[in-house]
Chains A and B, each alone.
Chain A
Amino acid sequence: MKEGHAVLLSQEFLQRVLDGIEESIVVIDRDYSIICYNNTFTTWLKKPKKKIIGECCYSVIHDQSVRCSPCIVRETFRTGQSFETLHSHDLGGGKKVYHETSSYPLKDANGEVKYAVYMFKDVTERALIENKVRELDKFKKRILDNAGVAINILDKNGNIMNVNRGSAELFGYVEDEVKGEPHEIFYREGDRDLISSAMKEALEKGKFKREVTLIKKNKSEFPADLTLTIVEGDSGEPAAFIEIITDLTQLKKAEEVIKNQLEKLKRLDTIKEDYFYSTSHEFKTPLTTIVSLTKMVLDGKLGEINERQREALNWVYCDSKRLRGSVQKILDIAKIESGKMVYNIEKVKVGEILDEVLETLKIIISSKNLTVTKSVDGNIPEVMADKDRLGVVIENLVGNAIKFTPEGGRMGILASGEGDNVLVEIHDTGVGIPEGDAKKVFEKYYQVKTGGKTDSGGSGLGLVICKRIVEDFGGRIWVESKLGEGSKFKFTLPIKKGKTKS
């Protein structure tokens, strides 16, 4: 050793060396008392020097009455080894300090550890930032985990960087198990082409989306909706892929159930319709007999009857006819709604049908003492319609007009050519329809409230049937009405065939 060096190694010189180090240094004996320290330490401590030497390290550094746990100084004394750790210390009130610490053994000539050199650096600021980043990462993971779908993050080569909880649960892997694996592990052996075309399309268009079959860890297959999107780096180059997978197993099952239910409903519908048609005959036939035979007795064709008998039978006749009409309407609407109404579309003279209807209703018209004005343009062309069904429409409308026009009132029936259509109007001078109900009258079961008990009556189906029939002919029906002044029901019928349904 050169002479000058001995000077350099003086205690003062060594203290200067220690003071120049930017980490706090404390030398501790086996009683955990501080025997030496550097300036950095006192600067950090902000306390007078004389209270440090001989004091316990934990009381000076951390203001504690007990040793830290864990304590790397203890470990150094115990094992004779060096240790490093990030030590966090709670200051209370949610405040924490973080120390990057290390502990080295100082041995005597016999190799016994007499002292420990404890070095530390306050890294609280850095640690807080790192904590924030970790929290953010955790938060991002929570978002991904709670996304409700399976999400895989792939690198630009298609290797798995991350999977969310949904994906791990769906495929049956542990999250870390698949990291670094190619995402091919989620696909069937034979779907290599699919994978490459998916990646290609995602690269070219930014997105690939298709229904595919994927496999789980246990090799079971399941239907899934797959979306593969690209994530670009700062300079626009492809950096990663996001693979979003929705399990369609339940949806497919539900679809199957719905399909089966629909088929069942269809079968029930057919049964119901068949039943309707067979029973319709059952309803209509006896009523025909009742109406026909009552009429014969009323007409005196089966012998003389007295006035009281005639009056009673007349009620039977009127009501059985009404019942027959109602049954017919219910059957008609069922037929129309099931699409089973068959129309015989042919050229029809509207004027003739108006005459026929008025002829059948003339008794009731005269019994109510109504004045009917009929104005039919002699030159109106024939329309394309089903003669009988058009008769039903007109009978319904004229019947309603009669019903709602008070005794001795006026009614009007008009027919004229209107371009490609013939316009038919039936006017009454009845109670009219409240504003806002003009469209409702063509809805099922609507009935005009007149205040009287049996004034209106009816099945509420007549106008529904009219609307459906007129529209099936390719025409249009509507009503113009003023409360208290009466209603004008109007409908059009096409002259040319084309739009009509037959």
Chain B
Amino acid sequence: MGKRVLVVDDEVSVAKTVKFILDAEGFETSVVFSGEDCLKRINSESFDLVLLDIMMPKMNGWQVFEELQKIKPGQKVAFLTVIRYSEAVKEKLRKEGLVDSITKPFENEDLINRVKAITSV
């Protein structure tokens, strides 16, 4: 069975596109369009990776990330965001439990390679 990925993005087309790309690579991808829905899904299901947008209405990515840490400590989370973080900041984020930060727009190959790398560890 493929690795399970939950994509959280208020932009429906982006979430669906990521699902298309990852499903084609054999991942089992689910999509939700808000931070609140993400927390609900996490309560009842388990995922190998949560791909989390930062700029979302109501709960933003950072708030969702903090809640996830409480509900499921150790849950692998990667940001999927337009914000570019430097390597130094990414290093700091990793220490806080974030495994990666993928910048939008992304190249398909890059997204696939990075999600594969995270979930195969």
Interface contact B20-A288, CB-CB below 8 Å? no
- Residues facing A in B69-96 (CB within 8 A) are 82, 84-89
In the complex, A360 Cα to B107 Cα: how many Å?
A: 10
Q: How far is the CB of B85 from chain A (nearest CB, A)?
A: 7
- Residues facing A in B9-39 (CB within 8 A) are 11, 13-14, 16-17, 20-21, 24
Closest to A347 in B: B87
Q: Across the A-B interface, how many residue pairs have beta carbons closer than 8 Å?
A: 55
- Residues facing B in A363-396 (CB within 8 A) are 386-388
* Majority DSSP secondary structure for residues of A touching B: helix
Interface contact B82-A301, CB-CB below 8 Å? no
Interface contact A296-B13, CB-CB below 8 Å? no
Contacts of A302 in B (CB 8 A): 20, 24
In the complex, A324 Cα to B107 Cα: how many Å?
A: 12
Contacts of B85 in A (CB 8 A): 344
Number of chain A interface residues as a range = 20 to 34
Contacts of B84 in A (CB 8 A): 342, 344, 388
- Which A residues have a C-beta under 8 Å from some C-beta of B? 281, 284-289, 291-293, 295-296, 299, 301-302, 324, 342, 344-346, 360, 386-388
Interface contact B105-A288, CB-CB below 8 Å? yes
Q: How far is the CB of B11 from chain A (nearest CB, A)?
A: 5
Question: Given A292-B108, A295-B108, A344-B89, do A285 and B24 touch, yes or no (CB 8 Å)?
Answer: no
Number of chain B interface residues as a range = 20 to 34
B116 at the interface (CB under 8 A from A): no
B114 at the interface (CB under 8 A from A): no
Closest to A287 in B: B105
22 residue pairs bridging A and B, Cβ less than 8 Å apart: A285-B11, A285-B105, A286-B13, A287-B105, A288-B14, A288-B104, A288-B105, A289-B13, A289-B14, A289-B16, A289-B17, A292-B20, A296-B21, A296-B108, A302-B20, A342-B84, A344-B86, A344-B88, A345-B86, A346-B86, A346-B87, A388-B84
Question: Given A284-B82, A288-B106, do A296 and B24 touch, yes or no (CB 8 Å)?
Answer: yes
Q: How far is the CB of A57 from chain B (nearest CB, A)?
A: 111
Shortest Cβ-Cβ A-B pairs, 5 listed: A344-B86, A288-B105, A301-B24, A289-B13, A289-B17
Interface contact B82-A281, CB-CB below 8 Å? yes
In the complex, A284 Cα to B11 Cα: how many Å?
A: 12
Contacts of A285 in B (CB 8 A): 11, 13-14, 104-105
Interface contact B17-A288, CB-CB below 8 Å? yes
| Inter-chain pairs besides A302-B20, A344-B86, 19 sampled, C-beta below 8 Å | A284-B104, A284-B105, A285-B13, A285-B14, A285-B104, A288-B104, A288-B105, A288-B106, A289-B16, A293-B17, A295-B108, A302-B24, A342-B84, A344-B85, A344-B89, A346-B86, A360-B107, A387-B86, A388-B103
Closest to A387 in B: B87
Contacts of B20 in A (CB 8 A): 292-293, 296, 302
In the complex, A302 Cα to B23 Cα: how many Å?
A: 10
Interface contact B24-A291, CB-CB below 8 Å? no
Q: How far is the CB of B61 from chain A (nearest CB, A)?
A: 15
In the complex, A14 Cα to B85 Cα: how many Å?
A: 125
Contacts of B105 in A (CB 8 A): 284-285, 287-288, 291, 324
In the complex, A287 Cα to B21 Cα: how many Å?
A: 15
